[in-house]
Structure 1
Amino acid sequence: MKHSLTSLALALCSCAALAGPDTAAFYPEGVSGPRALRVKHAALQLDGRLDDALWAEAPIHDAFVQHQPEDRRPARWHTTVQVVVDDDAITFGIRAYDPEPSKIRAPLARRDQVKRDQDFVIVVLDPVGQRRAAQFARVSASGVIADGVFTADDDAEDFSPDFDLQAAAQLLPDGYSVELRWPLAALRYPYAGGAPWRLMVGRSMPREDSVMMLSAPLTHDALSFIAELQPLEGLGDLVETVRERSFLQVRPELSARQLRRSVSEGAADGHSERHREAALGAEIKWRPRADWVIDATLNPDFSQVELDTPQLAGNTRYALFQQEKRPFFLESKDVVGAGQAEDAGAAHSQAAFYSRAITDPDWGLRATWRGVDAEATALSVRDAGGGQVLRAHAYGTRYFEQHGRSQASFVRARQQIGELSLAGLGARRDYGNGRRNSVFGTDFAWRASEQALLRGHLLLSDTTAGFDAQGQAQRQTAERGHRLWLSWRERSADWNHLAHFEHVAPGFANDNGFVSQTGFRRVSLESHRRLGAQSWAPLGEGLRLQAYEFEWQMQAQETRALADAREGVAAGELIERRLHPGLWFSSARNFELWSHLNLDQQRARSAGRLHSPRTLTLGFSVSPAPWLGLLSAELEWGRRLDVEADRLGRGLVWTLEAKMRTPLWKGWWLDFEPHLSGASVRSPQGDASLSELAAQALAVLHFGARDSVRATVQHTRLNRVAEPGLAGSADRERLLALMYQHRQGLRKVYSLGFTQSRQQPGAERETQWFAKLAIDLMD
């Protein structure tokens, strides 16, 4: 049946109820943002008390407005912010008044785990002044820091980068206060001629309504969270004074480990081996002047990076994305253009550069430059190998072992021309012996209006690094391909529209990027009808339900194959068609509920049968209590496609996640975060044909602000029942990790722990003990 996806999506959305009542805007006229007190040297004791003499001189800003749960409302609680700037740092003093201080949630937590279930303040700072990207820091009422980068194009916050910040908080009889010191060495800004630095300060209160108040007039209609950052006045000659100053950070790392690997004697090749090693590495960061940052890494040890949450992989044809967590790759991610793949735009940026494709660096060097209307970054890393190389096609991803070393390089430069951002980029992976993969291209972003954004990229690849039928690396005749992606996003008070177009040639490959599918053309459309606040009383006024935001949603997508003679795929073959009408709303206690009907068509293999799975998705998340900061669950149930068996069967996919925090004694806190997911599909006879489970439990015992013990248990299980024409399997993997860590910000980290993993089939067992010391040496 021929139809226009666009017309169908908009027509179904138009059947939604009429919009809720309009809310009059509440923003004080002529109110500017916070103003700084400029001094030569700030004699401030960072204890969170705001009782130093300088705070009595610094201007007070208290013009806050409510942003969540409903915008265009006056602030419910009094909040003030003061800013003191000297030649070394910007220090923020924030006072959060509270008539019910006993309800302040101030648990101890890990860095970057300051979430909406805690009381916190947030500082969002854009020293470039263009509102394209901003650094941010959240500080909880207990003084815990969560920091990162916010990018306007993706409208997403990325907690993976860490900055050398210092913070302290103090609980008071009428609320709490926070001091945050942001060293100028941790800021990235142009050498000269830049726009005024921009700032927004916020406060989150996780009471029943989960309120967020901001110092800037931001509404839900804005395209990004940083769209209304206000100029930070009072900096005076700060930029001119410190722009020539050089900052050098040297962080040597000493690590020792003992490894024991064994295969059970019952296996065909039972054996055991032991290995001990000690290694010295270093991370170096040099900022010769304000607009340049040089990063170097030598023999880095990333063993203490937090483990990835296991994902369901038994019923998918394509490679799975993993978040980057290694420090060397996180500097100036906004210049790299690599998002966190939480939405379609960020996911497509990973096709240009995906640092997780670099497995085990021996060394790496990187330089980043920022100007007023331009910026650039270049990096080169020697990868020791041991990872996988992806080669994709229309119906799946093939994996090949990368046994040898390779040189991975990437460069990107971006120019801002009015509302148009235009970038050129190049990537290369050289394996030696004439085997390489090169990618060149361009990407752009054009802000058509305050509510509309057009983005896209065009990438061209040339590859001589191939593999034979046995998976062995070989040099091949150069194979070329291209990747085109366009995206349109538009947001208003009543609607939120998102459209994507992709065209990826069969021969496209990027060994420095994340490319899980090629040889297809895809059109995706999303339309959300925004109805604002809604209220229902289906069983009488005593059971009235209040939604702060409500949306009717429609998602539509169609993917068709491009001609691929090598894979035997015909042009125009329908791979997948999706049609997902649904709804979403939010309410008190951070409660969100979503549901959609999945009316799909899918093909598991080329020239195979076109199936019509029908499933229903229902999910929710909520912060129900101080001790239970998050409870989230999602269930998809109905007729699902069993990819390997190429048939439909009754089945489900489910996830369950919780985050719990409780005080113990003498200031000790316990975090417990279980994450479970599972899937199953039944055969036509009603028997379980495929079942899968992925589980992770993370427990962290905090002895104080600097000392903790972290335990992680992971378990994955995949069962496939054997049947005619389909081999059975029973895969198991278990992992236990235990680590003690003493941490003084980013400057001193001591770690001691072990990991143990077991894998079936193969009866493999690996145990590793490790110790690591990392200390920053500053000039």
Structure 2
Amino acid sequence: MNRTRTYGLKALLYLLLATITIFELNAQDRFELSLISRSKGKRIPEKTLQISKTDAEITIDGVLDEAVWQTADKAKDFHRQYPTDDTTAFSKTEASITFDDNNLYVGITCYDELEGNYVVESLRRDYMERNNDYVMLVLDPFDDLTNGYAFTVTPLGVQMEGLITGGGGGFMAISSSWDNVWYSKTKKTDEGWTAEIKIPFKSIRYADDISNWNIQFVRNDLKRNERSTWTTVKRQYQPTSLTYSGEMKWEGTPPEAGSNISIIPYVSGSATQADLSSNNNVDWDWNAGFDGKVALSTSMNLDLTLNPDFSTVEVDRQQTNVTRFELFYPERRQFFIENSDLFSDFGFRQSQVFFSRRIGLSSPMIFGARLSGQVGDGLRVGLLNAQTKHQMNDGYDDTPSYNYTVASFKKQVFGRSNISGIFAAKQGINFSKDQDDGYDFGTQNEYNRVYGLQYNLLSADDKWDGSFYYFNSDDPVHTSKHWAHGTSVRYNTRKLMAFWTHEYVAENFNAEMGFFPRTGYITFGPFVTYSFYPKSKTINRHGPNFRSNYYLDTNWEFTDKNTQVGYSISFLNSSRVSVEWENTYVKLFNDFDPTWQFKSGTEPLPAGSEYTWNQMNLNYSSNSRKDFSFTFRGGIGGFYNGNGTNISGTFRYRVKPIFSLAMNYSYNKIDLPDPNPSGSFWLVGPRIDLTFTEKIFWTNFIQYNQQADNVNINSRLQWRFAPVSDLFLVYTENFLPDGMVSKNRGLILKMSYWINL
């Protein structure tokens, strides 16, 4: 075995063992909160809520007039979580929960004695929760304090549902891309507002052999600028953190969901015009297919898709690229969402072994199947298979047909932590490079496989989290130096947050189904923030921060260095400001044009050249509760061998709750000495949302990308005529900015309908 590889693997194993040892020896510190106990080896919840069965019919109308709501156990005496966490909530909230053979029911009363309208920015589903008044139900139906569901409703009855992974304590605690069937109604009263929620057992996955679930209620009252939780959650943690949730005790065990099969067929028609410079022909087409969900048990689900159509997925927000690497765009397609952590949580955000967007975008997906869920005590498994279509253009084979297979597992250990493993395989079908056979796929590999293990650390009190991975790849070309390993550890308390990361990605590591913008590097660096909480009527928190990233090649020579030192202030009215000094060093390993415009008469920065520069950055976010708000980020200083200026941000204006305008903007000015390339370019993206009702939405997104020399218009009208059933009308067109000459356009009509069998 290669000596460097051996040392790297040993170092990773030693660090893993040391971290586990520290994790165990630090038990007293980790369990310092009163709600955690080691005496019986089980968490002692701060509060407990009894759930009883009802035989009475509950009408979901927002009026809590059924007798069961008067007798059911109540979650009350909420605790303030923001802007301070040292008192009971000023906004009083009460919640009760009951069930019958088929559904879970929740009744919530939100008292409100303040004058003025509620803060609800839109009637659109899946809103940004921090910008709205809402009440949220958080469920952990496996009692593992790791995975769960969030169901949220605003005073105007607008719904948002999401999946909780990783314990619910991360920055992106809720994945709102998940969609499923549930029902809710709200009602304004003289004392505030009430909400009734019905969640079919068929809509969630759960363990039906345990008598305790974990539960949390969260209320956001922007009028009072207060967020509160049923159980105590310190403000440095997310309110959805499952380790701080209360306990819901069943009478026995929850009922089985029964037969649970859902089919979501769709039909679509389109009219497109491509390459308008040479013809005006209209291509008409239609398509049909379906998605299916089969619950094999209350905790295991099989997702199926045949001839999927992703045409109505929300358009990506374009980005200006002045880096040397590929940009990351999130997954939005429903087939890949549920239990997605079983497949995507291998590696780090910018270095993932499996990135589902690699499937079905360059070549159409024909079918897919995905089995995922829990099969035993603390053991979750996932299995995915998808097939793409062979693409031909003008008689030439551009993209071969590939089959994608991913198998993974996660086994809970040491409390909330887990050990996970993955095997990802991409296999060409009828693959040949013999041009006489009609196939010429150039440098594309016939197969690619990646496999490895990962340990995910998550302490019982959310103070410690991190990941440690080791992966290997296999393809027909590379026979050595095809491994990768990495470490990330975070320590988070009220005042101190310290984060460390390292990665070693060998030259020939090749994850074709993943997202690794580059290979052949070693990177490491710390990130530290310290927070002060003054007794002030204007400032909530302030403090310094330090971040540093170092990149070396596999010969241990520096290729990149970046250091940032800054200071940030968060105000009680939700606005924020920060200033930072940044120092950057880059050694280019390829010729590089930072404008990405490759104009004639200019010369790219040459490979092997080295550059060091300084820059000052200013960031500001205004009070997001106001009808008009904005964010601003500005940077000015050096850039490679010249100077650079970048300005970006967003302006938002809304007429609650039917109209909102968000203007995203980005301006980059690059000034390098001749003959190196210079340039300036704008990226402007106004988005206009009209929400006529909670079921009818019209979104218009216009993006002008000067760097790409393109104007894109995307207009999408959506009618949700039944739960998770939609009618879409989507128009898109691309223009050349000069004279607004149309390049291509398309109109799509699509209907999907959720059928429970």
What TM-score do you get using the length of structure 2 for normalisation? 0.84
Q: 1:589 corresponds to which letter in structure 2?
A: N
1:257 aligned onto 2:231: no
1:428 aligned onto 2:425: yes
Q: Which residue is 1:573 aligned to?
A: 557
1:757 aligned onto 2:734: yes
Partners in 2 of 1:732 and 1:190 — Cα distance? 53
Q: Which residue is 2:38 aligned to?
A: none
Alpha-carbon offset, residue 45 of structure 1:
1.4
Cα gap change, 1:102/1:173 in structure 2, threshold over 3 Å: closer, same or farther? Answer: farther
Residue pair 2:489, 2:501 contacting (<8 A) in 1 also:
yes
Partners in 2 of 1:477 and 1:418 — Cα distance? 37
Alpha-carbon offset, residue 477 of structure 1:
6.1
Residue pair 1:198, 1:229 contacting (<8 A) in 2 also:
no
Alpha-carbon offset, residue 758 of structure 1:
2.3
Q: 2:180 corresponds to which letter in structure 1?
A: F
User: Among residues 542, 554, 564, which one is paired with 1:550 in the alignment?
Assistant: 542
1:303 aligned onto 2:311: yes
How do 1:293-332 and structure 2 match up within 5 A?
A: 293-313=301-321, 315-332=322-339
Deviations 1:523-544 (CA, angstroms, capped at 9, x unpaired): 1201111222364xxxxxxxxx
Q: 1:550 corresponds to which letter in structure 2?
A: H
Deviations 1:50-87 (CA, angstroms, capped at 9, x unpaired): 12222122122212101111222221111111111222
Partners in 2 of 1:223 and 1:167 — Cα distance? 25
Classify the secondary structure of the residue corresponding to 2:468: strand
Classify the secondary structure of the residue corresponding to 1:613: strand
Q: 1:351 corresponds to which letter in structure 2?
A: V
Cα gap change, 1:457/1:764 in structure 2, threshold over 3 Å: closer, same or farther? Answer: farther
User: Among residues 139, 151, 161, which one is paired with 2:165 in the alignment?
Assistant: 151
Partners in 2 of 1:655 and 1:619 — Cα distance? 10
Residue pair 1:659, 1:673 contacting (<8 A) in 2 also:
yes
Cα gap change, 1:136/1:85 in structure 2, threshold over 3 Å: closer, same or farther? Answer: same
Deviations 1:160-189 (CA, angstroms, capped at 9, x unpaired): 112222121112222111112222112222
Partners in 1 of 2:160 and 2:557 — Cα distance? 47
Residue pair 2:83, 2:225 contacting (<8 A) in 1 also:
yes
Q: 2:713 corresponds to which letter in structure 1?
A: L
Deviations 1:429-482 (CA, angstroms, capped at 9, x unpaired): 112327011001111113456322241111110123xxxxxxxxxxx4656611
Partners in 1 of 2:238 and 2:82 — Cα distance? 16
Q: 2:471 corresponds to which letter in structure 1?
A: L
How do 1:27-176 and structure 2 match up within 5 A?
A: 32-33=46-47, 35-41=49-55, 43-152=57-166, 155=170, 156-157=172-173, 158-176=175-193
Partners in 2 of 1:688 and 1:205 — Cα distance? 51
Which is richer in strand?
Answer: 1
User: Among residues 354, 357, 362, which one is paired with 1:355 in the alignment?
Assistant: 357
Deviations 1:87-124 (CA, angstroms, capped at 9, x unpaired): 21212111111111424223433211143222111111
1:412 aligned onto 2:408: yes
Cα gap change, 1:66/1:555 in structure 2, threshold over 3 Å: closer, same or farther? Answer: same
Partners in 1 of 2:234 and 2:77 — Cα distance? 15
Residue pair 2:721, 2:727 contacting (<8 A) in 1 also:
no
Alpha-carbon offset, residue 422 of structure 1:
0.7
Deviations 1:570-600 (CA, angstroms, capped at 9, x unpaired): x223111111111222112211222211022
Cα gap change, 1:230/1:588 in structure 2, threshold over 3 Å: closer, same or farther? Answer: closer
Partners in 2 of 1:48 and 1:224 — Cα distance? 25
Q: Which residue is 1:190 aligned to?
A: 207
Classify the secondary structure of the residue corresponding to 2:135: strand
Q: Which residue is 2:229 aligned to?
A: 214
Partners in 2 of 1:52 and 1:504 — Cα distance? 61
160-169 or 32-41, which deviates more: 32-41
Q: Which residue is 2:252 aligned to?
A: 237
1:457 aligned onto 2:469: yes
Cα gap change, 1:181/1:704 in structure 2, threshold over 3 Å: closer, same or farther? Answer: same
Q: 1:593 corresponds to which letter in structure 2?
A: V
Partners in 2 of 1:88 and 1:183 — Cα distance? 6
Alpha-carbon offset, residue 385 of structure 1:
6.4
Deviations 1:29-54 (CA, angstroms, capped at 9, x unpaired): x9853524422545111121212222
Alpha-carbon offset, residue 253 of structure 1:
0.2
Partners in 2 of 1:695 and 1:262 — Cα distance? 24
1:517 aligned onto 2:518: yes
Q: 1:416 corresponds to which letter in structure 2?
A: Q
Deviations 1:330-378 (CA, angstroms, capped at 9, x unpaired): 0112333449xxxx94444x33444344423211011113132100011
Partners in 1 of 2:308 and 2:686 — Cα distance? 27
1:594 aligned onto 2:593: no
Partners in 1 of 2:581 and 2:743 — Cα distance? 43
Classify the secondary structure of the residue corresponding to 1:129: coil
1:769 aligned onto 2:743: no
Cα gap change, 1:263/1:454 in structure 2, threshold over 3 Å: closer, same or farther? Answer: same
Deviations 1:304-331 (CA, angstroms, capped at 9, x unpaired): 1111111012x21101100111000001
Cα gap change, 1:172/1:368 in structure 2, threshold over 3 Å: closer, same or farther? Answer: same
Classify the secondary structure of the residue corresponding to 1:113: coil
Alpha-carbon offset, residue 492 of structure 1:
2.0
1:692 aligned onto 2:648: no
Classify the secondary structure of the residue corresponding to 2:70: helix
Residue pair 1:133, 1:334 contacting (<8 A) in 2 also:
no
User: In the comparison of the two structures, how many residue pairs are matched?
Assistant: 677
Alpha-carbon offset, residue 407 of structure 1:
1.0
Partners in 1 of 2:350 and 2:138 — Cα distance? 24
Alpha-carbon offset, residue 561 of structure 1:
0.8
Partners in 2 of 1:329 and 1:610 — Cα distance? 42
Partners in 1 of 2:756 and 2:231 — Cα distance? 36
Deviations 1:265-311 (CA, angstroms, capped at 9, x unpaired): xxxxx344432111111010010221210100011111111111110
Which sections of structure 1, spanning at least 5 residues, go unmatched?
1-24, 265-269, 388-400, 465-475, 536-544, 563-570, 642-647, 719-730
Residue pair 2:121, 2:131 contacting (<8 A) in 1 also:
no
Alpha-carbon offset, residue 745 of structure 1:
5.4
Cα gap change, 1:678/1:745 in structure 2, threshold over 3 Å: closer, same or farther? Answer: farther
Classify the secondary structure of the residue corresponding to 2:74: coil
Residue pair 1:410, 1:427 contacting (<8 A) in 2 also:
yes
User: Among residues 628, 645, 657, which one is paired with 2:650 in the alignment?
Assistant: 657
Cα gap change, 1:367/1:356 in structure 2, threshold over 3 Å: closer, same or farther? Answer: same
Cα gap change, 1:32/1:577 in structure 2, threshold over 3 Å: closer, same or farther? Answer: closer
Residue pair 1:217, 1:228 contacting (<8 A) in 2 also:
no
Classify the secondary structure of the residue corresponding to 1:612: strand
Classify the secondary structure of the residue corresponding to 2:512: coil
Partners in 1 of 2:137 and 2:115 — Cα distance? 22
Partners in 1 of 2:672 and 2:90 — Cα distance? 56
Partners in 2 of 1:482 and 1:692 — Cα distance? 39
Deviations 1:504-525 (CA, angstroms, capped at 9, x unpaired): 0111111211111110000120
Partners in 2 of 1:165 and 1:479 — Cα distance? 52
How do 1:369-384 and structure 2 match up within 5 A?
A: 369-370=373-374, 371-384=376-389
Partners in 2 of 1:177 and 1:511 — Cα distance? 50
Alpha-carbon offset, residue 712 of structure 1:
1.6
Partners in 2 of 1:709 and 1:493 — Cα distance? 42
Residue pair 2:451, 2:471 contacting (<8 A) in 1 also:
yes
Cα gap change, 1:386/1:503 in structure 2, threshold over 3 Å: closer, same or farther? Answer: farther
User: Among residues 662, 665, 668, which one is paired with 1:673 in the alignment?
Assistant: 662
